[in-house]
Structure 1
Amino acid sequence: MKLLSWLIFLPFAAVVVIFAISNRAEIAVNFWPLPFSQDIPLYLLSLGTLAFGFFFGALLTWLSVAKWRVIAMSRKKDTKYAETEVARLQEQLAEAQKQQKPNQEVLPAVKSGAA
């Protein structure tokens, strides 16, 4: 699995580095309602926008599955309770079997009447 992640990450990282080297020109970015602008490299603007979109999407995905995380935690708690209950009942059963008298030999019943 680590090899697969490296095989995906390395080409992506190479593309990002090549993109950054190729787009070093500065552009003016105006922050419209505010009265100022900033000159920043094009690659920084592009990669910053890409990173913002990635993290914003990750946040939305994380928030959208919050309900299922709560359900999973609740079921994990229920499972843990059930496992401890089973262990407790098994201990009770073992203790009861130790205290029980050994079974006496049982003879088969005799049928009344001729066969």
Structure 2
Amino acid sequence: MAKRIIGWLVLIPLCAVILVFALANRHPVPVNFNPLISVDPAAPGAGVPLFLIIYAVLFFGIALGGIAVWFAQGQHRRAERRWRKEAEKLQRELEGVRGRPARRETDPALAAADELA
């Protein structure tokens, strides 16, 4: 419960700051992907609001980071699947052994253990 309250205490001001930033940066800016050609801000054409450019770059960075982490964790996921399969196999084997009646008469070690008990 405390984590949820602290999360909201951080999330609400952060959302407010993002909203104020977006409202303050509504003016259109020219976008150019060629660094060798300068763009004249007075030239006619459509611009993109600055906050959209910044949000798009942030979203692209978050998505790229998520993809990189997903690829980096591939070995761990593979090992987890292998361990899970092995645990399921051992669980089935254990259930099979528990369901089978003990062969005390054929195994002298089990017969000796019964005599001691």
* Equivalence for 1:53: 61
* Equivalence for 1:7: 9
User: Structure 1 residue aligned with 2:23, among 21, 24, 32?
Assistant: 21
TM-score (norm 1): 0.70
In terms of Rg, which structure is larger? 1
Number of residue pairs matched by the alignment:
96
Q: Which has the bigger relative contact order, CA under 8 A and spacing at least 6?
A: 2
Structure 1 outlier segments of 4+, above 3 Å: 1-8
Q: Which structure 2 residue ranges, 5 or more long, are not aligned?
A: 36-44, 106-110
Q: Which structure 1 residue ranges, 5 or more long, are not aligned?
A: 107-115
- CA distance in 2 between partners of 1:84 and 1:17 (Å): 56
More strand by share: 1
- CA distance in 1 between partners of 2:10 and 2:81 (Å): 32
- CA distance in 1 between partners of 2:6 and 2:82 (Å): 34
- CA distance in 2 between partners of 1:68 and 1:58 (Å): 16
Q: Note if 1:42 corresponds to 2:50.
A: yes
- How far the C-alpha of 1:3 sits from its partner, in A, is 3.8
